[in-house]
A and B are shown apart, each in its own frame.
Chain A
């Protein structure tokens, strides 16, 4: 674990946290424009967060320490993942610390803590949100891991740096059927895990339709800011995974400052494109019923499964 590696990891964490609210702001803006509205400026999510940090924190009498711990764990796990995923460079010190499996389970750790927090206040909606969130997390898991399986077959490793380096060395693999199937599977899971339409509606106000929002109804002020920031960060992490695992070009393979700057530009472009695509799609489709979500995820699982078998039979 070299000092430059640590510096790269820290840089990735800081940059992704700083940029996450902007990305969300951009998605909201695109949506507003397509709806014929002007929309709030891109920096609005940052403004909201800054304001939340200055507000009172409310902790109801029923809750236990889990309620205060959950936002910390949620943000910390997402931030750690942001350090592991090769956003800027494959030389992050955290690359050997955890692989893709560790990434998936770290994100699940955050989900678990938030679900516990949803149960902690003892309100009906909190429990409802937790139950639904865990349902979706549980059935999204097979797709995630089997997609990882597909990715690691050709590379022979589940380490992110190795997969990225391998795709850079064999550009044709990015266009192979296995890789494309795995990409579509992961894209569906990304939408489910980040709570976007058609799985969850991030801007709903009706408790009965909520998933993520229902768990956090009880949070206020700085705690809420942490939870929201973590949600933004998870979006960036998932999109960053999609971007750099399948289209790694532009990523730095060294830790030289100039390369890092170029890589930051490249990853920013990729993230913006992916986020814009999601935002546009969201305008065109409606949220599906909760009990239709498993069908969606089952379909994505089939894609992931095909990706693995294709990589066996076609290679």
Chain B
């Protein structure tokens, strides 16, 4: 326990050692009156990704990028969520669950397509198991490009979404 304490003291704060304003600008910005401004809970849906996007997405919630400080949190149930982050091309098996998840989310809600696969099926386009891009299955509000997008991109985009 003392070892851990020493480590905590020595390490100090690690967040923000990377520039946050990098990356492309997403199209959506919540205005001041929007109910979701300042607090967005996210349910992540893996619709068939290679897990590259997940790794980067998870990194965005780690100590270095710490997107939680802007009021973004991960939740376990779509009932608690305001936004769905969907990764990967939508495979045939995940098409129905994705729609169900979308329907299970109370409005107002957003869908964020994370990664090139989610936007346009990326390298998997035309695969026999692929049902289409995320936009083919549920309405997409925000797209974050990249294969995979860097945590910087993800943080920057999510900041745009929360408005902080």
Q: Report if A32-B66 is in contact (Cβ < 8 Å); known contacts: A37-B15, A205-B74.
A: yes
Which of A33, A44, A50, A58 meets B13, CB within 8 Å?
A: A33
A58 touches which of B8, B36, B69, B79 (Cβ 8 Å): B79
Q: A34-B8, A38-B15 are in contact. List 16 more A-B contacts (CB 8 A).
A: A32-B69, A37-B13, A38-B66, A39-B66, A40-B71, A44-B39, A47-B38, A47-B39, A51-B36, A51-B39, A56-B107, A58-B106, A210-B76, A213-B76, A217-B77, A217-B80
Q: Are B79 and A219 in contact (CB under 8 A)?
A: yes
Question: Digit string of A51-67 for contact with B (CB within 8 Å is 1, else 0)?
Answer: 10011111000000000
Identify 13 residue pairs between A and B in the complex whose beta-carbon atoms are under 8 Å apart, listed by A's number. A32-B68, A32-B69, A36-B11, A36-B12, A36-B63, A38-B13, A38-B15, A38-B69, A39-B69, A48-B73, A56-B106, A204-B76, A224-B79
Kindly state whether residue B87 has any CB partner on chain A within 8 Å. no
Flag whether B82 is at the interface (Cβ < 8 A): yes
Interface size class of B (residues with CB under 8 A): 20 to 34
Report the separation of the CA atoms of residues A44 and B162 in the bound assembly, to the nearest whole angstrom: 12
Cβ distance B66 to chain A, nearest Cβ, rounded Å: 4
Q: Given contacts A32-B68, A37-B68, A220-B106, are A205 and B15 in contact (CB under 8 A)?
A: no
A162-177: contact bitstring with B at CB < 8 Å (1 yes, 0 no)? Answer: 0000000000000000
Q: With contacts A36-B14, A44-B71 known, is A217 near B39, CB below 8 A?
A: no
Distance of A220 Cα from B66 Cα, bound (Å): 26
A22-52: contact bitstring with B at CB < 8 Å (1 yes, 0 no)?
Answer: 0000000000111111111100100110110
Interface string of A204-220 (1 = CB under 8 A from B): 11110010010001111
Which residues of B have CB within 8 Å of A221? 106
Q: Give the chain A neighbours of B97 by CB distance below 8 A.
A: none
Q: How far is the CB of B137 from chain A (nearest CB, A)?
A: 21
Are B13 and A36 in contact (CB-based, < 8 A)? yes
B75 CB–A CB distance under 8 Å: yes
Q: Contact residues of A with B, CB < 8 Å? A: 32-41, 44, 47-48, 50-51, 54-58, 204-207, 210, 213, 217-221, 224, 283-284
Q: Collect the chain A residues with CB atoms within 8 Å of residue B39's CB.
A: 44, 47-48, 50-51
B123 in the interface (beta carbon within 8 A): no
The answer to whether B68 and A40 touch across the interface, beta carbons within 8 angstroms, is yes
Point out the residues of chain B lying under 8 angstroms from A283, CB to CB.
8
Contacts of B66 in A (CB 8 A): 32, 37-39
A224→B76 contact, CB < 8 A: no
**B32 close to chain A: CB less than 8 A:** no
Mask, B1-23, CB within 8 Å of A = 1, is 10011001001111110000000
Q: How far is the CA of A50 from the CA of B4 in the complex (A)?
A: 37
From residue A48, how far is it (CB to closest CB) to chain B in Å?
A: 5
Minimum Cβ distance to chain A for residue B19 (Å)? 15
Q: Report the separation of the CA atoms of residues A289 and B70 in the bound assembly, to the nearest whole angstrom.
A: 32
Closest 3 CB pairs of A and B: A56-B106, A220-B79, A54-B35
CB neighbours (8 Å) of B104 from chain A are: 58
Which residues from A are CB-within-8-Å of B91? none
Q: Is the CB of B35 within 8 A of A51?
A: yes
| B91 nearest CB across to chain A (Å) | 22
* A36-B8, A57-B106, A220-B106 as given contacts; A205 in contact with B13, CB under 8 Å: no
Per a CB cutoff under 8 Å, which of B1, B69, B75, B82 touches A37? B69
Which of B4, B15, B71 has a CB less than 8 Å from the CB of A284? B4
| CB-defined contacts of B36 to chain A, threshold 8 Å | 51
Smallest Cβ-Cβ distance to B43: which chain A residue = A205
Q: Do the beta carbons of B68 and A218 come within 8 Å of each other?
A: no
Q: Are B35 and A38 in contact (CB under 8 A)?
A: no
A285–B41 alpha-carbon span in the complex (Å): 26
Asked if B108 lies at the interface with its beta carbon under 8 angstroms from chain A, I say yes
By beta carbon, the residue of chain A nearest B38 is: A47
